[in-house]
């Protein structure tokens, strides 16, 4: 069976220059070209987004008992289960662990980076079908959140969306970690970040939980080049005005605002495991109900599993995307 080809492009971003954390603005863009790729043909495109602390290159990681994303795509194309397609794996990692694929004064404008720079760059340099109904966005966890928000706000660019355990309904997926984050941060979020980046430092029990909340704060409640945490650093009391800023970014609350764009999608697919550690199965239930309230066509599925080691579900997203491509 012939395999696809991986191309690694270096892209110098004007939008990410001078971002507040000083993250690099020349980044790798991983591009999968299907078997038999030929420039005289045209192919649909999928933008694949990694979860928190991930970057596109991690989709290529070798795994012991399951294929990585590229190997999975080769297998699906070889078996005739999906059409030949171009898959783009961007790098939106930041000093704070991730960008949530949105614009923030504290991290940089990653939503603009993707929609205004990377999508046009891919269409100019590869044999893509440029109609929105031939362009999908998919991802898991924070990547699933990014897929949801990008397809909501940019339904003119992405005509298909697949969110695997995507962040939503923050009251039950993020709020439960505030206590753990408070204990680990100990009043000094930047001090914890220095500890996270020091590979020799012993990591504490709740350090990753704290990194997650710091990362979300940099995205959802930026304050200039800095950010506000959603709880008081001295007592742990929830800061309601900051929490409201977070809730304004929740896909459940964005449905009404972007209902017309969502209705225009060729595919809106959401799924989650029934034992998801971040309660994202419940989040998917709430999101699905809100979508039904606004008569937005979508597919919602559950599967037996948690939040981790569920990359096999990528196949379901890819098959649905392939079926609905124009």
pLDDT at 224: 98
Q: How many CB atoms lie within 10 A of CB 316?
A: 16
DSSP category for residue 70:
H
CA distance 17 to 13: 6
pLDDT at 250: 98
pLDDT at 59: 97
pLDDT at 316: 98
Q: Where are the domains of the chain?
A: 5-169+251-324, 172-247
Residue 74 token pair: 């080769």
pLDDT at 106: 98
Which parts of the chain register pLDDT below 70?
Answer: none
pLDDT at 278: 97
The DSSP line for 172-241 is HHTGGGHHHHHHHHTT-HHHHHHHHH-TTSPPPTTHHHHHHHHHHHHHHSEETTEE--SB-TTT--B-HH
* Domain 5-169+251-324, architecture per CATH: 3-Layer(aba) Sandwich (3.40)
Cross-strand pairs, 103: 109
SS3 at position 18: coil
Residue 186 token pair: 């100990």
Residue 304 burial (CB < 10 Å; 0-12/13-18/19+)? exposed
How do beta strands 160-164 and 135-140 pair? parallel
The model carries a pTM of 0.97
Long-range contacts of 320-323 (CB under 8 A, 24+ apart): 320/162, 320/267, 320/269, 321/46, 321/82, 321/85, 321/136, 321/138, 321/160, 321/162, 321/267, 321/269, 322/44, 322/81, 322/82, 322/83, 322/85
Strands of 299-303's sheet, edge to edge? 5-12, 26-33, 86-89, 45-49, 135-140, 160-164, 267-273, 299-303
Cross-strand pairs, 6: 32
Vertex 222: Cα angle to 219 and 225 (nearest 5):
110
Q: How many CB atoms lie within 10 A of CB 211?
A: 24
Closest Cα to residue 176, out of 226, 223, 238? Answer: 238
Closest Cα to residue 307, out of 270, 269, 281, 268? Answer: 281
Residue 99 token pair: 């960008």
Residue 60 token pair: 């290529």
Residue 198 token pair: 């020091």
CB 179 within 8 A of CB 194: no
Q: How far is CA 74 from the centre of its chain?
A: 22
Residue 45 token pair: 């495109």
CA distance 145 to 102: 10
Reported as type and span, the H/E element at residue 47 is: strand 45-49
DSSP category for residue 43:
B
Closest Cα to residue 28, out of 7, 45, 11? Answer: 11
Residue 306 burial (CB < 10 Å; 0-12/13-18/19+)? middle
């Amino acid at each position: 069976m012939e395999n696809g080809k991986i191309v690694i492009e270096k892209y110098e971003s004007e939008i990410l220059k001078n971002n507040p954390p000083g993250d690099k603005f020349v980044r790798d863009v991983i591009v999968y070209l299907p078997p038999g790729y030929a420039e005289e043909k045209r192919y649909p495109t999928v933008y694949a987004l990694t979860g928190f602390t991930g970057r596109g290159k991690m989709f290529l990681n070798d795994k012991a008992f399951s294929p990585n994303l590229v190997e999975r795509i080769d297998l699906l194309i070889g078996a005739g289960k999906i059409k030949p397609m171009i898959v783009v794996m961007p790098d939106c990692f930041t000093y704070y662990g991730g960008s949530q694929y949105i614009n923030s004064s504290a991290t940089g404008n990653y939503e603009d980076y993707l929609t205004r720079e990377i999508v046009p760059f891919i269409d100019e340099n590869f044999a893509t079908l440029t109609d929105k109904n031939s362009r999908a966005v998919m991802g898991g966890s924070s990547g699933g959140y990014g897929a949801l928000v990008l397809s909501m706000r940019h339904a003119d660019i992405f005509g298909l969306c697949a969110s695997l355990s995507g962040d939503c309904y923050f009251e039950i997926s993020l709020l439960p970690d505030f206590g753990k984050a408070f204990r680990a941060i100990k009043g000094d979020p930047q001090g914890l970040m220095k500890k996270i980046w020091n590979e020799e430092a012993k990591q504490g029990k709740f350090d990753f939980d704290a990194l997650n909340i710091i990362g979300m704060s940099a995205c959802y409640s930026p304050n200039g080049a800095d950010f506000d945490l959603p709880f008081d650093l001295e007592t742990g009391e929830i800061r309601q005005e900051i929490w409201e800023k977070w809730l304004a970014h929740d896909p459940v609350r964005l449905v009404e605002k972007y209902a017309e764009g969502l209705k225009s999608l060729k595919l809106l697919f959401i799924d989650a495991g029934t034992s998801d550690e971040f309660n994202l199965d419940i989040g998917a239930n709430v999101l699905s109900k809100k979508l039904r309230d606004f008569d937005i066509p979508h597919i919602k599925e559950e599967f037996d599993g948690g939040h981790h080691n569920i990359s096999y579900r990528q196949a379901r997203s890819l098959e649905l995307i392939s079926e609905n491509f124009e």
